[in-house]
Amino acid sequence: MRLDALMSELNITVPEAFADQDIDAISYDSRMCAPGTLFVCIEGNVTDGHFYAKDAYERGVRAFLCQKPVDLPKDAAVLYVPNTRTALADVAAAFYGHPADKLRLIGITGTKGKTSTALFIYSILSEAGIPVGYIGTVGVMFCGRRTSTLRTTPESADIQLYLHKMVKAGVKIVIIEVSSQAIFMERIHGLKFESCIFTNLSPDHIGRYEHPNFEHYRASKARLFSDFGCEYIVYNADDENSTYMLAGATALSCGVSVGGNTHVRGEDIRLWRERGALGVDFTCVFGDRRYPIRLRTPGTFSVYNALEAITVAHHIGIPFDIIRTALSKTTPLGRFEVVDALPYCTFVIDYAHNAVSLEAALSVLREYNPARLIVLVGCVGGRTFSRRKPVGETISRLADFCILTADDPDFEDPMTIIRDILDGFGDRNTPFTAIPDRAEAVRYAVRNAREGDIILFAGKGHEAFQLIRGEYLSFSERSIITEEAIRLSEEKITVK
């Protein structure tokens, strides 16, 4: 695509000497640049793409989009805009042929429940035979394929690329998990959502490299419902922040609740536990109709996620028998995912990584009456400083035994993080062990499990890596649990 044609989307006139440059890629990462790339200098929380313009030039780039001066040779076309983040979204949309205009988009935001709700909807639409795509915490999924991503909501150029691929594959509806940072950092700029969901809100992602305060966090999320063309909103009516979230919205809306008097609600909640599964049964009341629902994920919060998914699916026009069938066989990846490894105990993998989510997870698991409730947990290195003491307070109060370990320590010493978590124990004498190597800690948890125990492996969820000293190293908690359980079972057979 010619540079002048691409820039016409931004109403920018390109000097004649550069107008016919052929642009065959768009990048905001200088390491991914090559001749023919348009390099867009965006500012992040930690670094600034303008610092890497020279590196991109040395890799052959001769077209740059900037919002402040850069020092480059005269054979480089340097074009300026007020905001390179919105410009990145606009030029990427143009470069890929405006794929969002050919899709129906569903956006989901909230502190907890985004992934489970999204994967419930994905399962329902797949069961109904609708070609569906997903972009979120567990990666990008469509047509039976899954690709990992580093962010819940990728950068705008990546989103446009994924949407382009989905259009080519015949996808009709795409579900996008929308993080608060994605909204205020303009990663979803230019997208129009047919339906949006608000799951819940509690303080999170507040700190040096995230949101400055709760008010900023909440206001960022609220923009999803007012600034992106939303036509239909489903919201958690039991969350006190729902009124704030919908204050600027003009779309048709439907609230869901548990035990309330909303049009859609959950009643008659009953927990169940079987080998290889924890779940919940409930009655979905939809107006004057009642539908029994079985979920293979535990707890009342799963009921909320399912109700939100049911409401959006119904709005799309999916029959209830398909909705019920899909929900009954869906276990969201890395979200209260039970690993069927040993017959006498229950291993649960979940993404819970802060005090709020750990409180919810451990409280739910306690309702299943374990002989012991054990949690394996760490905190991310280099940031999360304010999370660590609250995590320690929560797990020491709710768990019977704690295994403290690493969770993406990066360049920070895991023992430093563990000591910060232990500060939250206070005067509680909750038994614990500290094992900095997470793989070793997982194997310890498997070998020390007893009859009736429930062990929560918290923080990694679906992730298949550990970030250690700047490197993303392959790491599968699920595989380690399974392999160690097999090894332990074989040893017991040999001893007999």
Rounded distance between C-alpha atoms, residue 147 and residue 199, angstroms: 25
- pLDDT score of 463: 85
Identify the residue whose tokens are 């480089």. 76
Percent of the chain with pLDDT over 70: 98
Mean pLDDT in residue range 479-490: 94
- Domains contained in the chain, CATH given: 3-95 (3.40.1390.10), 99-328 (3.40.1190.10), 337-495 (3.90.190.20)
Q: Which tens digits make up the pLDDT trace of 348-398?
A: 999 888 998 899 899 999 999 999 999 999 999 998 898 999 999 999 999
- pLDDT score of 205: 64
- pLDDT score of 496: 54
Mean pLDDT in residue range 181-197: 96
Residue 311 banded pLDDT, cuts 50, 70, 90: very high
Q: Which tens digits make up the pLDDT trace of 234-264?
A: 999 999 999 999 998 999 999 999 989 999 9
For the beta sheet containing 77-80, the strands, ordered from the edge strand earlier in sequence to the opposite edge, are 25-27, 37-40, 63-66, 77-80
- pLDDT score of 299: 87
* Strand-pair category, 145-147 with 173-177: unpaired
Rounded distance between C-alpha atoms, residue 212 and residue 433, angstroms: 34
CB-neighbour burial class of residue 176 (10 A; exposed 0-12, middle 13-18, buried 19+):
buried
Mean pLDDT in residue range 188-216: 84
Mean pLDDT in residue range 214-242: 94
Cβ neighbours of 218 (radius 10 Å): 17
Asked if pLDDT for residue 84 goes beyond 80, the answer is yes
The reply to whether the predicted model has a pTM over 0.85 is yes
Token digits of residue 146: 């899954």
Instruction: Dihedral sign for Cα 162, 163, 166, 171, please.
Output: positive
For the beta sheet containing 277-286, the strands, ordered from the edge strand earlier in sequence to the opposite edge, are 145-147, 139-142, 132-136, 173-177, 104-109, 195-198, 232-236, 252-258, 264-274, 277-286, 289-295
- pLDDT score of 164: 98
